[in-house]
């Protein structure tokens, strides 16, 4: 899974200093027009899943200078919410590591290391679960762990991961891991408890609070086995909220907060599939890349929270049949996100050759729901502007220009693997 992050390697990832000498103070930065703008954040790749156990016992091979090996990400404090003693202790044995590629902006990798002590703690947690479920024959069986980045929100300075503890024939034990770039903290948050189930997807919507902390929002409802994961009147949805303050005082990290009302056409919500989530100017955004976005005011004090709908730009909506017949995942050719204070929607229309794929980009104005077309260009221009690091690039055939800003936006939003030429 690929997502844009906010980790600035020169600030957070210095080369490790020799143990015999203290680390030198950072050199002062010169103020200039070039450095005044914030540097684009790197894109981290989790390679879909990480077998965290494979990293156990190899700490010496994980650390290195950028370009030479893995570098540990600075974590100042760790805290677990809604977790038992085993998980709280295990969190101290989790570390994050980054491997900077040749081009850190688009080819950096992220890994989680689980120490042997943390591995034993996680195993103990699964043993307790096996006893609770009356499955003693699964005690002390092999545990595996997989993880994925589910959200890297540049506007909120947060990276959210899912860590799944697994054992054969036992249900996965999921946790959220949240790395806050502002204070270099790592939080481990329990999943929503039974009998609740998340609607749509596991990605929460993050939002900063006025005191600099953050909240996470999930759309959920009471579980009902045998029914499809769709909205229905029998089990009304509501927002589950996690906050650092409330989560520290509750056995369960999540609080059922607000009932939901829909100001959305039936034709939209009856087949709404959540592809991605993010927050923007206090609003929570749920995106179906085939048809529309639904949004709500996360700051409202009303007991019932209303959802409104904005359809995708004209010509980008897919009917149900076309969406189901799509040969590739919707995220392979479409994405949406908040970049530099604006909501951007990017769509790729496939051409006869990879270089002829057409990239179209829009920005959205809230609350009026007006889409503005910002750019339209073939993928070949991105190859030149993004991956050769040119400030701007002119296509010799068409004479069109992709500015550095648009190239960066496309680079942040799109998986570069889908933009590279086919070399097979």
Residue 335 DSSP label: E
Report the chain's mean pLDDT, rounded to a whole number: 71
Weakest mean pLDDT among 31-40, 137-146, 226-235: 31-40
Strand partners, 362: 345, 373
Give helix then strand counts, H and E, for the chain.
Answer: 9, 25
Of residues 47 and 101, the one with the higher pLDDT is 101
Q: CB-side exposure of 385: number of CA atoms within 13 Å?
A: 23
Whole-number pLDDT of residue 126: 81
Q: How many CB atoms lie within 10 A of CB 324?
A: 10
Whole-number pLDDT of residue 317: 86
Q: Within its chain, how far is the Cα of 295 from the centroid?
A: 18
Whole-number pLDDT of residue 423: 33
Q: Are 348 and 333 in contact (CB under 8 A)?
A: yes
Average pLDDT over residues 159-172: 80
What is 188-202 written as a DSSP string?
Answer: EEEPPPTTEEESS-S
Q: Roughly how many angstroms between the first and final C-alpha of the chain, as a whole number?
A: 23
Q: Are 307 and 277 in contact (CB under 8 A)?
A: no
Residue 391 predicted with pLDDT over 80: no
Whole-number pLDDT of residue 384: 64
Q: Are 308 and 293 in contact (CB under 8 A)?
A: no
Whole-number pLDDT of residue 246: 77
Per-residue pLDDT band at 328 (split at 50, 70, 90): low
* Entry pTM: 0.72
Whole-number pLDDT of residue 372: 93
Pairing of strands 255-262, 304-311: parallel
Taking the domains of the chain in order of start, what are their residue ranges?
45-130+142-191, 193-223+235-311, 325-392+403-418
d(CA 174, CA 93): 17
Residue 163 predicted with pLDDT over 80: yes
**Cα distances (Å, whole numbers) of residue 261 to 158, 171, 256, 295, 305:** 29, 32, 15, 11, 6
Residue 78 predicted with pLDDT over 60: yes
Share of the chain above pLDDT 90, in %: 17
Whole-number pLDDT of residue 33: 35
Share of the chain above pLDDT 70, in %: 63
d(CA 35, CA 128): 53
Residue 10 predicted with pLDDT over 70: no
Whole-number pLDDT of residue 270: 81
Of residues 328 and 182, the one with the higher pLDDT is 182
Of residues 229 and 94, the one with the higher pLDDT is 94
Whole-number pLDDT of residue 407: 54
Whole-number pLDDT of residue 188: 95
Q: Are 152 and 6 in contact (CB under 8 A)?
A: yes
pLDDT, tens digit, 9 for 90 and up, residues 185-222: 999 999 887 777 887 678 899 999 989 999 999 988 87
Whole-number pLDDT of residue 413: 54
Residue 292's contacts (CB-CB under 8 Å, 6 or more residues apart) are 268, 272, 309, 310, 311, 312, 317
Backbone angles phi, psi at 35, to 5 degrees: -90, -10
């Amino acid at each position: 899974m690929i997502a844009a992050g906010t980790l600035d390697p020169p600030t957070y990832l210095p080369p490790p200093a020799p143990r015999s000498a203290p680390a030198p103070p950072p050199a002062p930065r010169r103020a200039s027009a070039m450095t005044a703008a914030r540097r684009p954040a790197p894109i981290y790749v989790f390679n879909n899943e990480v077998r965290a156990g494979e990293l156990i016992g190899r700490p010496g091979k994980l650390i290195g200078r950028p370009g030479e090996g893995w570098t540990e990400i600075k974590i100042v404090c760790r805290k677990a919410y809604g977790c038992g003693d085993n998980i709280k202790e295990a969190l101290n044995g989790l570390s994050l590591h980054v491997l900077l590629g040749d081009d850190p902006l688009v080819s950096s990798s992220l890994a989680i290391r689980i120490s042997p002590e943390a591995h034993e703690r996680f195993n103990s947690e699964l043993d307790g679960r096996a006893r609770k479920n009356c499955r003693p024959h699964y005690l002390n069986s092999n545990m595996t762990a997989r993880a994925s980045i589910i959200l890297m929100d540049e506007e909120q300075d947060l990276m959210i991961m899912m860590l799944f503890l697994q054992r054969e024939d036992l249900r996965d034990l999921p946790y959220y891991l949240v790395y806050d770039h502002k204070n270099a903290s790592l939080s481990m948050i329990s999943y929503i408890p039974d009998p609740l189930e998340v609607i749509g997807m596991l990605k929460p919507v993050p939002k900063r609070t006025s005191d600099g902390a953050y909240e996470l929002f999930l759309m959920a409802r009471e579980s009902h086995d045998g029914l499809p994961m769709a909205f229905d009147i029998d089990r009304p949805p509501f927002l589950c909220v996690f906050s650092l303050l409330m989560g520290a005082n509750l056995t369960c990290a999540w609080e059922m907060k607000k009932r939901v009302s829909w100001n959305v056409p039936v034709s939209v919500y009856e087949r709404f599939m959540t592809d991605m989530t993010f927050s923007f100017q206090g609003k929570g955004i749920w995106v179906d890349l085939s048809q529309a976005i639904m949004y709500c005011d996360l700051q409202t004090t009303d007991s019932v929270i209303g959802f409104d709908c904005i359809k995708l730009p004209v010509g980008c909506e897919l009917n149900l049949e076309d969406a189901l017949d799509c040969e590739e995942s919707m995220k392979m050719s479409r994405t949406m996100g908040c970049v530099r204070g604006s909501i951007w929607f990017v769509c790729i229309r496939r051409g006869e050759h990879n270089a002829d794929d057409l990239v179209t980009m829009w920005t959205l104005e809230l609350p009026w729901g007006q889409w503005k077309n910002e750019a339209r260009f073939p993928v070949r221009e991105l190859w030149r502007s993004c991956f050769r690091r040119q400030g701007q690039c002119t296509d010799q055939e068409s004479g069109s220009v992709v500015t550095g800003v648009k190239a960066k936006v496309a680079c942040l939003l799109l998986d570069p693997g889908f933009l590279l030429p086919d070399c097979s």
